[in-house]
């Protein structure tokens, strides 16, 4: 278990570090929203899901995609705009998808995948499947009206959705105090009749335990559950850099989070040897994926006009 | 001779839904009030008794959210039909329709598709006013990835709805309140009307009149008047607004040399502009033609009857415009007021 | 006080009864949503407001318009589609407005005046005025996302708004159980940090007392307050008729509400003489308004294209 | 000779806001992140320090609600400027814009008005993809009661924004990300650019090229190329899309006999269709003209560079189309790739 968690955490961290390293070369000509520092949420939640379960995410979807088992080569090729990308190079970093791994896509429009995930859950429940849908979004997404509309319906129909709010305190550079009048985000979920728990302290084991229990209840027909998980975005909102110098937040604020790096915390639970073995394998996998993406083909020009409609 | 099976437009829609729900268990219907005694203008009446509340259900008032939910169900492989009693409310769901439904198949490189039908009603009737009477199909025509269909006959209503349900892509299905009462031949068996094909409703050589949605009913009335002054109009119902069958219209105009487009919506940057421009593209260098656009007055819809009447193009006005188009702008003629029974007879409150 | 309340209640009731009586003649060729049975909410709330305070309503706005002091002649002329109507005959019953009385309009799109009322309150607060804005809407409106968006902002900026949810149990023919998954509507307001009270039993004095206290607090800078006031619509959703026979509700359900008719309850507190005096005056006023509307002119044809833009 | 005062488009917008806020205490600015260190592409930077947080403030993520709030403040007599970093997000606010802002003045018989300016950015740049790059001005053009303006020069940016703020009606103010960097003459004093007046950017007799938003920058580059093959293009920037100055364009086409419309958006049922149809209406019976429409490819915008490049009409393509339009469809010519520095030099991540 620990080795799988570490493998996933380390993979995500290192993939994003590689993205950040490559980015200035302009090989990735599209916005990237890094999850560095927040990986434990995706990894923890996905550890509680089955392969057939599905997830929906936001533009900040690298961690979720990989944690759920999305294909790494297809992801990097997608960022490089290559035809072998998970969306043929048409989607870029903000819209990763791998339906075979249960990654049902991500959207650049804040909160727009919340209702789609609920609709997916409705379809599964109606057809008698026991799929659980995990719906990921940021704190900012909870200000959009559609968040409430989706939660209400999930509650009304007792749908198998686990809502995961990754509260990193910021929407771009805006603090919660500039955006929200209410008390806790969890209170809003509760007002829709959805049991909600807030997890502080960013502890992957706590996440797995707490979410895992909820997922089980959901699978047994208990209806939706809601988690607000506090976290911190280490990098700038979009792009590969640090941004503690630009004015909206101070490095001191980040320090406790940096000290509680779950990649290290989990890694430290492994023996030196086990850890090295995993790290080496992951590095090789990443190197291969980037090499693959580098050498892959661009989509042919004819792709511009293809895929607009699905025809049998 | 076999007598034709006659049904109303609403009945035709009802039959389409019922047959498709029977055929495919992935088809379901959702919308505000669809399971009440009115049953979405009768089009969903009795369906809940037949198919149960999992496949026929009322929804909260939440257009954006419920559209996203329909889309999500479609992504999972179901085929939702989402209904709205007024097209005006679609403005609340534009983000899900345009940013998600229309784009997902392309944006994800074909990995998923969104087979959803969104039915909404252009609400002209009984002083509905500015916010309950808009024909907004032109907005959706502008968006790649959406199909837009606005059938006007009961036959097309059934065939287009079945085609829309079976389509793997999002379809905006536009119903005008005033065509709900039209009756006509509707075969009992299941059939589809081909996507992207216009219908020539009446033949003629002097002028091509294209009518969108309920306007085409008025165009047919105008045609009758025009015959009396020796003008033979060809009347075309595009049926599908996107994809638009420009060929059928352009071929007709090439013959008649005159095009009148009458929309159930505003003209500025709307469907009528597209039709004129597209026909012009086809015919440039081949045929010079005269043309005119008609549609709603360029204002929100007023409620009071005398202004409302002027707001909409009517059969007499259409005939008069067609006359001047054919005979030259200096020649004027207008038939007596032409009855539009569906409008005269309609009584509210709704 | 009682006489003013009765006057207002009786006026609204009788105006709507007259509308219902006239309706089959097709002189009013536009939808009407009657407030019969719900009048005490508008009258009670408006009794706590000052003339300079403003209200925003829904298509079911007759009661609110009159309770706030909207011009009766201009209202009936509007329903008749006449040029002397409060909107020149362009608006009809669903969009009554009388800015001189603080009636800022109503909308046929459910919940669409909730944010505009909050914006109005923002403007007044920013400019240092002590206006209170009363925002009326139905139970169905609380399912729309924009309801939450507006409440959040009102809470965030501590705006002078009193939210009045007229909960008549139905949205057209849909019951709450078909539409809402959460517990109380008030819980949603509270989740946005807005103190909320639910008033049952439809008692105008309780409404005045409870809302009056809140309006005073709001005027003193206390920020928004929320009321859910339970009520019952006696007539069909739209139109002049009863509809207990059509299937979605039974007459028995209505009975306690009919028995607790606030027009009678308040009227009974007056002496027979006072009551008669008011009734006679009101009847005369109504007769005059309908006569005025009957004989008033339709808008000239040129009005079709006027008012589309405001030009100095 | 006096040296011209040169400013960027963003600076011009900043100056317009600052001057209007100084002039009229009812003017205020709201929008997501406008008070952060980026300041809405620099256009709102420092304003909060100058005017305080009541008049310059960040908002929750709630496009529909915040638009309604801006409208309500406008109904109370204030003059909000509401900003959006991407035009795509306007789809979330369509109901308030179309059903409330556009209709209130008419629907209430003139009793109230809604003087609101909604700024939004067409986000072409750096692989923004399907949901961050739409030019949706055509949707708003279709709606009576809205003004739509899309200035491209710093001079017009300032003058149009001031005109928009002072307008008593709702104005959709469309900014293309790629014109934010353009520099040009901007007078220091306050001035307005007249509503509904197109600007002839370059004179010519052979073909009329109309470019909308950033496309007009490419049209000007195309003009330079065309000169080399002896074709003199007239380039027109409509500036205001609604009301649209059809006269200026039609007068030009009457002279040149050829019209090329290049949009920063899709063509189908869009601004380019309207321009073609409206010019056709003006000139029918007077002058037969050749025409062509260009715009985004009829799909969502792909992110990968090679497809993205084909997605947009560029100067070389525009020149080539104009050439064929003038010389006949059998004659082909395309200039070497023409540099578009604002696109080549732009680097993300955003
Ligand atoms: C509907 C919408 N509004 C605004 C934006 C611009 N935007 C992009 S990311 C973002 C912040 C979202 O914050 P949050 O939900 O907390 O997610 P985080 O980026 O912190 O992971 C905003 C406002 C958008 N993409 N979509
Ligand atoms: C956005 C929107 N969706 C749907 C409708 C159709 N509709 C008109 S009234 C109504 C019911 C609203 O119920 P509620 O808010 O409880 O008000 P009530 O009529 O009970 O006073 C609905 C769904 C609408 N007008 N606007
Ligand atoms: Mg955040
Ligand atoms: Mg109700």
In a domain, A176, yes or no: yes
Query: Residue C79's domain spans which residues?
Result: 2-288
Centre a 10 Å sphere on the Cβ of residue B152 and count the other Cβ atoms it contains: 30
Contact between chains at D64 and A92 (C-beta distance less than 8 A): no
- Does B3 have pLDDT greater than 80? no
Contact between chains at D103 and B270 (C-beta distance less than 8 A): no
Q: Strand, helix or coil at A183?
A: coil
Q: Quote the pLDDT of residue D245.
A: 98
**Binding site membership of A143 for ligand 1 (Cβ less than 6 Å):** no
Show the DSSP H helices in chain B as ranges: 9-23, 47-51, 63-75, 94, 104-107, 137-141, 154-166, 215-228, 246-256, 271-283, 305-311, 315-327, 341-344
**Binding site membership of D84 for ligand 1 (Cβ less than 6 Å):** no
Compare all CA atoms of chain A with the CA of B67 and give the residue at the minimum distance: A115
In a domain, A303, yes or no: no
pLDDT digits (tens, 9 = 90+) for A182-207: 999 999 999 999 999 999 999 999 99
- Does B296 have pLDDT greater than 90? yes
Q: Quote the pLDDT of residue B317.
A: 98
The shortest CB-CB distance from A156 to any of C148, C151, C181 is to C181
Alpha-carbon torsion D285, D289, D290, D291, what sign? negative
Q: Find the mean pLDDT for residues A76-100.
A: 98
The shortest CB-CB distance from B297 to any of C91, C110, C304 is to C304
Q: Find the mean pLDDT for residues B223-227.
A: 97
B92 touches chain C (CB under 8 A): yes
User: Taking CB atoms and an 8 Å cutoff, what residues of chain C touch D169?
Assistant: 309-310
Q: Quote the pLDDT of residue D2.
A: 64
Give the length of chain B: 350
> In sequence order, what are the residues at sequence separation of 6 or more whose Cβ sits closer than 8 angstroms to the Cβ of residue B206?
B226, B231, B232, B233, B256, B258, B326
- Does B2 have pLDDT greater than 80? no
Do B218 and B211 touch, CB atoms closer than 8 A? yes
Q: Quote the pLDDT of residue A59.
A: 98
Compare all CA atoms of chain C with the CA of A115 and give the residue at the minimum distance: C145
**Binding site membership of D32 for ligand 1 (Cβ less than 6 Å):** yes
Least confident of B3-7, B157-161, C45-49, D115-119: B3-7
Do B194 and B164 touch, CB atoms closer than 8 A? no
- Does B1 have pLDDT greater than 60? no
- Does A3 have pLDDT greater than 70? yes
CA dist., res. C188 & res. C146, Å (int)? 13
In a domain, A133, yes or no: yes
Compare all CA atoms of chain A with the CA of B110 and give the residue at the minimum distance: A307
Q: Quote the pLDDT of residue B73.
A: 98
Ligand 1: atom nearest CA of D132 is 25
pLDDT digits (tens, 9 = 90+) for D247-260: 999 999 999 999 99
pLDDT confidence band for D125 (50 / 70 / 90): confident
In a domain, A93, yes or no: yes
Contact between chains at C181 and A152 (C-beta distance less than 8 A): yes
The number of folded domains in chain C is 1
Q: Find the mean pLDDT for residues B12-38.
A: 98
Do D244 and D274 touch, CB atoms closer than 8 A? yes
pLDDT digits (tens, 9 = 90+) for B104-126: 999 999 999 999 999 999 999 89
In a domain, C309, yes or no: no
Beta bridge partners of C155: none
D60 touches chain A (CB under 8 A): yes
In a domain, A245, yes or no: yes
If you write DSSP's letter for every residue of C59-123 in order, what string do you get? Answer: S--HHHHHHTT--HHHHHHHHTT-TTSTTTTSS-GGG--BGGGTEEEEESSTTTHHHHHHHHHHH
pLDDT confidence band for A4 (50 / 70 / 90): very high
CA dist., res. A110 & res. D27, Å (int)? 28
Residues with CB under 6 A from ligand 2: B 32, 61, 63, 89, 92; C 60, 108-110, 138-141, 168, 170-172, 237
In a domain, C305, yes or no: no
Alpha-carbon torsion C52, C58, C64, C70, what sign? positive
Structure tokens at C121: 């309150």
D28 touches chain C (CB under 8 A): yes
Residue to substitute from D136, D307, D308, D313, interface A, most A β-carbons within 10 A: D307
| ipTM, 2 dp | 0.98
- Does D265 have pLDDT greater than 90? yes
More confident residue, B338 or B71: B71
Neighbours, chain A (3 or more CB pairs < 8 A): B, C, D
Q: How far is the CA of A110 from the centre of ligand 1 (A)?
A: 5
Ligand 1: residue whose CA is nearest its atom 8: A110
Neighbours, chain D (3 or more CB pairs < 8 A): A, B, C
User: Taking CB atoms and an 8 Å cutoff, what residues of chain B touch A308?
Assistant: 105-106, 144-145
Mean pLDDT, each 10-residue run in order, chain C (312 residues)? 97 98 96 98 98 98 98 98 98 98 98 98 98 98 98 98 98 97 96 98 97 98 98 98 95 97 98 98 98 98 97 82
User: Taking CB atoms and an 8 Å cutoff, what residues of chain C touch B128?
Assistant: 30-31
CA dist., res. D71 & res. D95, Å (int)? 12
CATH code where residue A69 lies: 3.40.50.970
Pairs of CB atoms within 8 A across A/D? 131
pLDDT confidence band for A164 (50 / 70 / 90): very high
Q: Is B132 in the active site?
A: yes
Q: How far is the CA of D140 from the centre of ligand 2 (A)?
A: 26
Instruction: Point out the catalytic residue in the list B63, B218, B308, B342.
Output: B63
Instruction: Point out the catalytic residue in the list D14, D105, D132, D176.
Output: D132
If you write DSSP's letter for every residue of D48-116 in order, what string do you get? Answer: HHHH-TTTEE---S-HHHHHHHHHHHHHTT-EEEEEES-GGGGGGGHIIIIIIITTHHHHTTTS-----
B37 touches chain C (CB under 8 A): yes
Q: Cα distance from D89 to chain C (closest Cα, Å)?
A: 15
Instruction: Point out the catalytic residue in the list B14, B82, B84, B132.
Output: B132
Q: Quote the pLDDT of residue B76.
A: 98
User: In chain D, where does the domain assigned CATH 3.40.50.970 lie?
Assistant: 6-185
User: Taking CB atoms and an 8 Å cutoff, what residues of chain D touch B103?
Assistant: 130-131, 300
The shortest CB-CB distance from A107 to any of D63, D92, D131 is to D131
Counting ligands in written order, the one closest to the CA of C109 is: 2
Q: Is B188 in the active site?
A: no
β-pair type (D240-242, D147-149): antiparallel
Q: What is the architecture, at CATH level 2, of domain B199-345?
A: 3-Layer(aba) Sandwich (3.40)
Q: Cα distance from B83 to chain D (closest Cα, Å)?
A: 18
Q: Quote the pLDDT of residue B171.
A: 98
If you search the block for the tokens 């990193």, which residue do you land on? A168
Cα A217-A220-A223 angle, rounded to 5 deg = 65
Q: Is the pTM of this model over 0.95?
A: yes
Query: What separation in angstroms does the CA of B234 have from each of B227, D157, D186?
Result: 11, 48, 55
Q: Cα distance from B129 to chain A (closest Cα, Å)?
A: 27
Q: Quote the pLDDT of residue D1.
A: 52
Contact between chains at A107 and B100 (C-beta distance less than 8 A): yes
The shortest CB-CB distance from A91 to any of D63, D303, D347 is to D303
In a domain, A300, yes or no: no
Q: Quote the pLDDT of residue D346.
A: 85
Q: How far is the CA of C166 from the centre of ligand 4 (A)?
A: 7
Give the length of chain C: 312
Structure tokens at D165: 């703020």
Among D222, D221, D225, D227, CA closest to D204: D227
Q: What are phi and psi of D207, to 5 degrees?
A: -160, 145
pLDDT confidence band for D273 (50 / 70 / 90): very high
pLDDT digits (tens, 9 = 90+) for C119-144: 999 999 999 999 999 999 999 999 99
Contact between chains at C108 and B129 (C-beta distance less than 8 A): yes
Q: How far is the CA of A167 from the centre of ligand 3 (A)?
A: 5
Ligand 2 mutation pick, B34, B61, B66, B121, max ligand atoms within 8 A of CB: B61
* DSSP 8-class letter at B194: P
Counting ligands in written order, the one closest to the CA of A140 is: 1
Contact between chains at A147 and C145 (C-beta distance less than 8 A): yes
Query: Counting beta carbons within 10 angstroms of the beta carbon of residue B52, is it exposed (0 to 12), middle (13 to 18) or buried (19 or more)?
Result: exposed
Q: Quote the pLDDT of residue D287.
A: 97
**Binding site membership of A140 for ligand 1 (Cβ less than 6 Å):** yes
pLDDT digits (tens, 9 = 90+) for D307-342: 999 999 999 999 999 999 999 989 899 998 888 999
CA dist., res. B103 & res. B144, Å (int)? 8
User: What is the CATH superfamily name and number for domain D6-185?
Assistant: Thiamin diphosphate (ThDP)-binding fold, Pyr/PP domains (3.40.50.970)
User: Taking CB atoms and an 8 Å cutoff, what residues of chain B touch C246?
Assistant: 37
Q: Cα distance from B172 to chain A (closest Cα, Å)?
A: 14
pLDDT confidence band for B67 (50 / 70 / 90): very high
Centre a 10 Å sphere on the Cβ of residue C288 and count the other Cβ atoms it contains: 13
Contact between chains at C118 and D72 (C-beta distance less than 8 A): yes
């Amino acid at each position: 278990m620990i080795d799988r968690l570490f493998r996933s955490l380390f993979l995500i961290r290192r993939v994003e570090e590689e993205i950040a390293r490559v980015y200035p070369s302009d090989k990735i000509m599209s916005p990237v929203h890094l999850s560095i520092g927040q990986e434990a949420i995706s990894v923890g939640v996905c550890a509680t899901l089955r392969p057939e379960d599905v997830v929906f995410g936001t533009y900040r979807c690298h961690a979720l995609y990989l944690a759920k088992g999305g294909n790494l080569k297809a992801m990097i090729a997608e960022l490089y705009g290559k035809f072998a990308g998970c969306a043929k190079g048409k989607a870029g970093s903000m819209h990763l998808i791998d339906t075979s791994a249960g990654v049902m896509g991500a959207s650049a429009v804040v909160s727009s995948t919340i209702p789609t995930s609920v609709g997916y859950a409705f379809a599964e429940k109606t057809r008698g499947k026991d799929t659980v849908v995990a719906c990921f979004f940021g704190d900012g997404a909870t200000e959009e009206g559609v968040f409430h509309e989706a939660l209400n319906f999930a509650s009304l129909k007792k749908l198998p959705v686990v809502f995961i709010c990754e509260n990193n305190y910021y929407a771009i550079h805006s603090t919660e105090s500039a955006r929200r009048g209410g008390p806790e985000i969890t209170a809003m979920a509760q007002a829709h009749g959805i049991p909600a728990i807030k997890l502080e302290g960013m502890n992957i084991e706590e996440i797995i335990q707490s979410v895992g229990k909820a997922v089980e209840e959901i699978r047994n027909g208990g209806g939706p559950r809601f988690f607000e998980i506090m976290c911190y975005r280490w990098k700038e909102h979009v792009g590969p850099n640090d941004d503690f110098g630009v004015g909206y937040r101070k490095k001191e604020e980040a320090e406790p989070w940096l000290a509680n790096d779950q990649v290290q915390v989990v890694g430290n639970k492994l023996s030196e040897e086990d850890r090295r073995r995993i790290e080496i394998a992951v590095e090789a996998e990443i190197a291969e994926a980037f090499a693959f993406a580098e050498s892959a083909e661009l989509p042919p020009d004819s792709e511009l006009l293809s895929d607009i409609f699905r025809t049998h | 001779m076999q007598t034709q099976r006659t049904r109303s437009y609403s009945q035709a829609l009802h039959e389409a839904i019922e047959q498709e729900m029977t055929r495919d268990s992935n088809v379901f219907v959702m919308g505000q009030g669809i399971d009440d005694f009115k049953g979405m203008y009768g089009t969903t009446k009795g369906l809940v008794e037949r198919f149960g509340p999992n496949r026929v259900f009322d929804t909260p008032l939440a257009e954006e959210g419920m559209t996203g939910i329909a889309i999500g169900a479609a992504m999972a492989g179901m085929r939702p039909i989402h209904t709205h009693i007024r097209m005006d409310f679609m403005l609340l769901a534009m983000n899900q329709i345009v940013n998600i439904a229309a784009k997902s198949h392309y944006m994800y490189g074909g990995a998923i598709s969104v087979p959803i039908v969104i039915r909404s009603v252009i609400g002209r009737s009984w002083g509905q006013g500015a916010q309950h009477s808009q024909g907004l199909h032109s907005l959706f025509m502008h968006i790649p990835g959406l199909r837009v269909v606005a059938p006007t006959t009961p036959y097309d209503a059934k065939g287009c709805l079945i085609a829309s349900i079976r389509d793997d892509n999002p379809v905006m299905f536009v119903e005008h309140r005033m065509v709900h009462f039209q009756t006509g031949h509707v075969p009992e068996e299941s059939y589809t009307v081909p996507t992207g094909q216009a219908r020539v409703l009446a033949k003629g050589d002097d002028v091509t009149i294209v009518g969108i949605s309920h306007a085409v009913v008025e165009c047919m009335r105008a045609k009758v008047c025009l015959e009396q002054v020796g003008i033979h109009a060809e009347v075309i119902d595009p049926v599908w607004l996107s994809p638009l069958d420009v060929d059928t219209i352009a071929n007709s105009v090439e013959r008649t040399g005159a095009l009148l487009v009458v929309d159930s919506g505003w003209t500025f940057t709307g469907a009528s502009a597209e039709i004129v421009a597209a026909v012009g593209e086809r015919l440039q260098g081949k045929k010079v033609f005269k043309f005119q656009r008609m549609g709603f007055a360029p204002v929100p819809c007023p409620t009071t009857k005398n202004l409302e009447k002027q707001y909409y193009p009517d059969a007499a006005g259409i005939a008069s415009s067609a006359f001047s188009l054919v005979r030259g702008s200096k020649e004027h003629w207008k038939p007596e007021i032409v009855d539009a029974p569906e409008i005269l007879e309609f009584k509210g409150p709704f």
